[in-house]
Amino acid sequence: MTMQDAGRYTVVMTCSRGRGIELSVLDSAARGDEFAEVDSLMVWITLPDGRTDRVSISPVWQEGAALSGAFVPNGVTMDFFRNGIRFEVDSPQTRTTFAATDMKGSGAARLAFLEQCGI
């Protein structure tokens, strides 16, 4: 599991062997009101040289003040995750950015995903 605090929202990523990665956006205000119209998420990962990878997560589901979805990453995405400097999660439907953070610690998370889940 890896967790990144982004102000009002916290992004949590967990993995399961054979099932990929589940990404959750938690609303610390415990409202989840901005999730009502969201049916997909977009994850953007930027490398130091400016190249950017994107991952679409659809469908997503809301449980209280959390919005979650699962995806199966490919090798390119995981390389971006290991070497990235910027991580962003947004909603294409509402144009809401839930997180825009640095990626300190993502290399360690990448190793944990590999060891624990084979990803």
91 in a structural domain: yes
Residue 114 lies in a domain: no
pLDDT the model gives residue 56: 96
* pLDDT for residue 85: 93
Give the pLDDT of residue 32: 63
Ranges of residues in the chain with a pLDDT under 50 are: none
Per-residue b or e along 38-75, where b marks 16 or more CB atoms closer than 10 Å to that residue's CB: beebbbbbbeeeeeebebebeebeeeebbbbbbbebee
Q: Is residue 44 part of a domain?
A: yes
Q: What does the pLDDT read at residue 115?
A: 82
Considering the entire predicted model, what is its pTM? 0.87
Query: Strand 86-91 and strand 41-46: pairing?
Result: antiparallel
Kind plus residue range of the DSSP H or E element containing 107: helix 106-117
Rounded-to-integer distance, Cα 70 and Cα 6, Å: 20
Containing domain of residue 101, as a range? 2-109
Reduced to 3 states (helix: H, G, I; strand: E, B; else coil), residue 103 is coil
The CATH number assigned to the domain holding 82 equals: 2.60.40
Please indicate, yes or no, if residue 115 is contained in any of the structural domains.
no
> Mind listing the pLDDT tens digit for each residue in 37-48?
899 999 999 999
* Cα 58 to Cα 63, 67, 106, distances in angstroms: 15, 11, 23
Tell me the pLDDT tens digit for each residue of 26-38: 998 876 678 888 9
What is the count of structural domains for the chain?
A: 1
Q: For position 10, what pLDDT does the model report? A: 93
In a domain, 117, yes or no: no
CB distance 98 to 56 below 8 Å:
no
